[in-house]
Amino acid sequence: MQRGLPEKKPIPNVKRVVLVSSAKGGVGKSTTAVNLALALNQQGQRVGILDADIFGPSLPKLMNLQNAPEVTEEGGRFQPLINYGVECMSMGFLVGDDAPIVWRGLMVMKAIQQLLYQIAWSPLDTLVIDMPPGTGDVQLSISQLVPIAGAVIITTPQELSLQDARRGIRMFQKVHIPIIGVVQNMSYFVCPNCHHESHVFGKSATAQMAEQMAIPLLAQIPLEAAICHGADEGVPVVTSHPDGPHAQVYHQLAQAVLQALDAAKIDS
C-alpha cells in the first residue's frame, strides 16, 4: 500500500488489468484497445474490455453492441455484453447513442467505481481498460483503486501527440503503474496502387521518445483503410481479416504485451 492511499482492491474474477491510454483523443486508442483485446482472445486468453470513457464511450460502436446489459438477481451487478468472444462493458450500453452525459466529478467517480466493481465478469485472464483522454481524476482514480499489471501508451508520430504521450507516461510512473510499452499508430500509409510506403506524420519520433524514456516500442500500426472501416462498421480488422497483414500487427502487439507481463510475472 502506498503511503496515504487506501489499499487497492482487485476486480472480482479478473486475474490482471492492462490499461490502454493515450492522454490525447483522436490517435486511435480505442481502436487499438479493441483489436488488442480481440488478438489476446484469439491467442487463448479469456478477455474482457472495459470502456472507461464516461463522456465519449466508443465501445458500443467498435464492437457492434447496442443492447442494455442485464442485471444479476444476486448482487445486482451488470452482466457484460459479449461479441467476438470478448466480454464488454461501457457506459454507452446504459445511455442512448446520442444522449449527452452532463455530470459533475462526484457522479463520474461513482460511475467509474460501479464500472470497476459492479460488473459480473466471467473469470478473465486479462481485462483491457480503454482509458479516456487526459491525465485527470478518472485516470488517477483507476490507478489508485485497482491493481494494474501495466499500461500500454498509444501515440502517433506527431510531436503534439508525443507531448501528451510523455505526460501520460510520467503520470503512470508517478503513481507506480508499470509501463509495458508504447504503440505508434498511423505510422505509415502504403499506396494500394504503387505500394509506396509514405510516413505521413513523420517516421522516427516515437522510436526516439521510447529510447529516451527507456520504454519498449511495441508496435507500429499503419494508417490503413481496412482498420478504419472495420472500426466504423463494428467489425474490427482482427475479426474481419484475422489472417491479414494488419491483423498480424495487432497479434504481434498482443504477443509483446503477454511476453512483457510474463517476464515481469505481473498479476493483479
- Domains plus CATH for the chain? 14-53+125-264 (3.40.50.300)
What pTM was computed for the model?
Answer: 0.91
Print pLDDT tens along the chain (268 aa): 445 556 899 999 999 999 999 988 889 999 999 999 999 999 999 999 999 998 889 999 999 998 889 998 777 899 999 999 999 999 999 876 666 666 677 888 888 999 999 999 999 999 999 999 887 888 989 999 999 999 999 999 988 899 999 999 999 999 999 999 999 998 877 767 777 677 666 676 899 999 999 999 999 998 888 899 899 999 999 999 999 989 999 999 999 999 999 887 644 4
CA distance 187 to 253: 14
Does residue 31 sit in helix, strand or coil?
helix
Lookup: cell for 168:
501520460
Q: Give the model's pLDDT for residue 267.
A: 47
Does residue 183 sit in helix, strand or coil?
strand
Lookup: cell for 5:
492511499
The total of other beta-carbon atoms located within 10 Å of residue 83's CB is 17
Task: Give Cα 57 to chain centroid, integer Å.
Answer: 12
Parallel, antiparallel or unpaired: strands 217-220 and 14-21: unpaired
CA distance 268 to 10: 7
